[in-house]
Amino acid sequence: MSRRYRVRDGIIIRRNALPNGDIVATILGEKGKWHGIARKGKIPGGNLGRLSLFHDVTIQYYRRGEEALALITQVQLNGALSRLSQPDVYPYAHILAELADALSVEVEPGGQIYDYLASGLRGLNQHRDTELVALAYAWKLTAQAGLAPQVATCTHCKTTSQLAFFDIAGGGLGCQQCRVGLPLLERQAAEVQQLVRGSVRTTLDMRLPDRALHWRILHRYLAYHVRPLKSLINLSSLTETYKGEASRV
Amino acid sequence: MRYPTALITLIRELGRLPGIGPKSAQRLALYLFNQPEEDVLSLAQAIAEAKETLQRCPICFSIMSSDDTRCSVCDDPQRTQKLLCVVEQPADLLAIERSGEYVGLYHVLHGSLSPMHGIGPDQLTIKPLLSRLDGIDEVILATSTTVEGEATAMYLARLLNDLEVNTTRIGYGLPVGGDLEYADEVTLGRAIANRRQLQL
């Protein structure tokens, strides 16, 4: 096989269908993300029909020189998560995929963002509390990119006690003495610490009553430190719990 | 050699069309240059006229002439008025019409839910759909079988079930004339899951 043909695994994190039937896909794999075009990929059946959003696939592609878009020639499906299109899961899957797209780069040596996205999508597909899964994995993905907020100490004076604020611009929790940022109850500050630093397993055992607040913190933090996510802005119109709170974001 | 400004402008404008790359745009521009003047003017006039005289039907949101008050489907009393088929794009409507199997009304959403692209329920024609359900016996959800189309269908099904409207989804399965061996796993899985009794 010509060296111009290559094979890579990954998850489809973005898919744009063009009016002429072509599909431009963004694929996130263990070695980073890349873009490819499937000529007439919208035609049902055949290999390229597997090129759907959130599918885990192995792709054979052809790239000439330094062309930005690889030409996708074959697609093999490794796994599809059937629940991701359900109304109570779909908006959260979009948040994780868009966040992974925003955080990942073309060359990523470790592949941790891919691992966490795959794990997060599986969690959304299996777990009953999909909103909690999405919150937990959104913070995990942010942390994997080295952009986690500082939650162990106050971002200003470094004290570990009386943490009761979330300072978006400062990048973490603040204390009662410094008083900078969004005011939190002691319990809510502990929940932020758990979401950011705790294991996913223990996070998914939490009750997390003030979810609108946690979405607000995540939304504002990502808008400031990563980029505004369209899927987070749209969450209000697709889910019930976020309703009424989004206008305050 | 530097191209004349008019040629550069034409190549740039043609290159903005979907599926037309810089090389194709250049080829098209040079092809147009070599065509008789009346053919080029006729093409330009057709484009301008289409943009000027076409608009969305106020009922189903398909394409209609601005001289009309509604599209030909909505205006046709012979069509079954109690059956409504929801599609993503006007092209989907035309595809179903070509099948010759459907005689009801349509509703065009103009897209599917895709939060990461900024498309939520408010960007689609969902509110007008919900306001035209009086006298409708069945709504057929004929959105694409992609993840986005599937999610849109499920979202609509939930809304329509709350309004106690009989809602169905187009069938999934294998293309006519296709071999099982060459079908993709998802289609094959859906075809098995949605199998039906053979009526003899």
- ipTM value of the model? 0.86
The domain that holds B127 is classified in CATH as 3.40.1360.10
Most confident range, picked from A47-56, A236-245, B48-57: B48-57
Confidence at residue A45, expressed as pLDDT on a 0 to 100 scale: 63
Query: What is the extent of the structural domain holding B163?
Result: 63-169
Residue of B nearest to A92 (CA): B115
| Beta carbons of A114 and A151 less than 8 angstroms apart | no
Cβ within 8 Å of B, A 195-224:
none
Interface with B, mutate which of A78, A215, A230 (most B CBs under 10 A): A230
- A179 pLDDT more than 70: yes
Does B176 map to a domain? Answer: no
- CA–CA–CA angle A148, A153, A156 (5° rounding): 95
| CA-based end-to-end distance of chain A | 53
- A241 pLDDT more than 50: no
Same domain as B100, residue B13 = no
Residue of A nearest to B149 (CA): A85
Does B157 map to a domain? Answer: yes
Select the more confidently predicted residue: A47 or B66.
Answer: B66
Confidence at residue A40, expressed as pLDDT on a 0 to 100 scale: 85
Does B53 map to a domain? Answer: no
Q: Where in chain A is the domain with CATH 2.40.50.140?
A: 5-80
**If pLDDT is split at 50, 70 and 90, which confidence band does A158 have?**
very high
Return the bridge partners of B86, or none.
B107, B141
Q: Residues B147, B153, B159, B160: what is their CA dihedral angle, to the nearest 10 degrees?
A: -170
Q: Does A19 touch chain B (CB under 8 A)?
A: yes
Confidence at residue B11, expressed as pLDDT on a 0 to 100 scale: 95
Helix (H) / strand (E) element for A61: namely strand A56-62
How far is the alpha carbon of B192 from chain A, nearest alpha carbon, in Å? 15
Q: Where are the beta strands (DSSP E) in chain B?
A: 54-56, 63-65, 83-87, 105-108, 138-141, 167-169
Q: Where in chain A is the domain with CATH 1.20.1440.120?
A: 86-248
Count CA atoms closer than 13 A to A158's CA, side-chain side: 0
Confidence at residue A240, expressed as pLDDT on a 0 to 100 scale: 60
Q: Can you tell me the mean pLDDT for A89-97? A: 96
| Beta carbons of B53 and B40 less than 8 angstroms apart | no
How far is the alpha carbon of B27 from chain A, nearest alpha carbon, in Å? 18
Q: Does A98 touch chain B (CB under 8 A)?
A: yes
Confidence at residue A47, expressed as pLDDT on a 0 to 100 scale: 67
Q: Does A235 touch chain B (CB under 8 A)?
A: yes
Instruction: Tell me the pLDDT of chain A averaged across its residues.
Output: 88
Confidence at residue A109, expressed as pLDDT on a 0 to 100 scale: 64
Q: Does A18 touch chain B (CB under 8 A)?
A: yes
Does B111 map to a domain? Answer: yes
Cβ pair B184:A50 closer than 8 A: yes
Select the more confidently predicted residue: A249 or A161.
Answer: A161
Same domain as B155, residue B121 = yes
Does B16 map to a domain? Answer: yes
Does B22 map to a domain? Answer: yes
Confidence at residue A189, expressed as pLDDT on a 0 to 100 scale: 95
Does B135 map to a domain? Answer: yes
Report the domain count for chain B. 2
Instruction: Tell me the pLDDT of chain B averaged across its residues.
Output: 92
Work out whether strand A32-38 and strand A70-79 pair parallel, antiparallel, or are unpaired: parallel
Q: Can you tell me the mean pLDDT for A71-87? A: 90
Same domain as B67, residue B164 = yes
Most confident range, picked from A40-49, B137-146, B189-198: B137-146
Percent of chain A's residues with pLDDT above 90: 69
Cβ pair A45:B187 closer than 8 A: yes
Q: Does A230 touch chain B (CB under 8 A)?
A: yes
**If pLDDT is split at 50, 70 and 90, which confidence band does A245 have?**
very low
- Identify the CATH class of A5-80: mainly beta
Residue of A nearest to B156 (CA): A87
The domain that holds B21 is classified in CATH as 1.10.8.420
Same domain as B87, residue B34 = no
Percent of chain B's residues with pLDDT above 90: 79
How far is the alpha carbon of B116 from chain A, nearest alpha carbon, in Å? 4
Q: Hey, is B58 helix, strand or coil?
A: coil
- A18 pLDDT more than 70: yes
**If pLDDT is split at 50, 70 and 90, which confidence band does A64 have?**
confident
What the block records as the tokens of B80 is 């079954």
Same domain as B159, residue B69 = yes
- B200 pLDDT more than 80: no
Q: Can you tell me the mean pLDDT for B178-191? A: 80
Q: Does A50 touch chain B (CB under 8 A)?
A: yes
- A95 pLDDT more than 70: yes
What the block records as the tokens of B2 is 């530097």
Confidence at residue A46, expressed as pLDDT on a 0 to 100 scale: 63
Confidence at residue A234, expressed as pLDDT on a 0 to 100 scale: 78
Q: Can you tell me the mean pLDDT for B156-162? A: 93
- Which chain A residues touch B158 with a CB distance below 8 Å? 87
Nearest to B115 among A45, A46, A234 (CB): A234
Q: Can you tell me the mean pLDDT for A140-157? A: 94
**In this structure, which topology does domain A86-248 adopt according to CATH?**
de novo design (two linked rop proteins) (1.20.1440)
Confidence at residue A243, expressed as pLDDT on a 0 to 100 scale: 44
Same domain as B36, residue B71 = no
- Which chain A residues touch B148 with a CB distance below 8 Å? 15, 53
